Amino acid sequence: MSNVKELIGLEFEPYSLEVEKGKIKELATALDDHNPIYYDVEAARKEGFDGIPVPPTFLQVIDLWGGYGSVEKVEKLKLNLVRVLHGQQSYEYLGDILAGDKLFVTSKVVNAETKKGSTGAMDLITSENQYTNQRGELVAKAKSTLVHRH
């Protein structure tokens, strides 16, 4: 990539995925989170949810199963995969995401810059995903920064 700033505004193909109760349980189990709200609808309702909610990092499941794979995303960004690291991730929840919801995801590059360090230059490329449910409600945003070493 000659000028990494040219990536700003690049949009990825939208995707969607239904939130499955089994995937929620798999993630909660993998995280060793035994909170009953992730396993039992009645426990979730007692805590004020309309159904089984997703654990805090569940958006990564949506992206991995519904969106671009790492290789596809790096190719779209015209980066060398062996020089890429995952630099940062953040999630902002704007509403509940529950088992049975269908999420529609849009994603674009919102920032790109080159920084120079003691071991050389690196590009920092930040993309933002927006997650809208089947009712058209924006329920979450996620930002992810890739580090591409020169």
Q: What is the DSSP string of 88-118?
A: EEEEEE-S--BTT-EEEEEEEEEEEEEEEET
Range of the domain at 124: 4-149
Query: Which of 64, 54, 37 has its CA nearest to residue 95?
Result: 54
| pLDDT tens, N- to C-terminus, the chain (150 residues) | 568 999 999 999 999 999 999 999 999 999 999 999 999 999 999 999 999 999 999 999 998 888 887 788 888 999 999 999 999 999 999 999 999 999 999 999 999 999 998 889 999 999 999 999 999 999 999 999 999 999
Type and span of the H or E element at 22: helix 21-30
Number of domains in the chain: 1
Report, in angstroms and rounded to the nearest whole number, the Rg of the chain calculated over CA atoms.
17
What pTM was estimated for this model as a whole? 0.91
- State the CATH number of the domain containing residue 135: 3.10.129.10
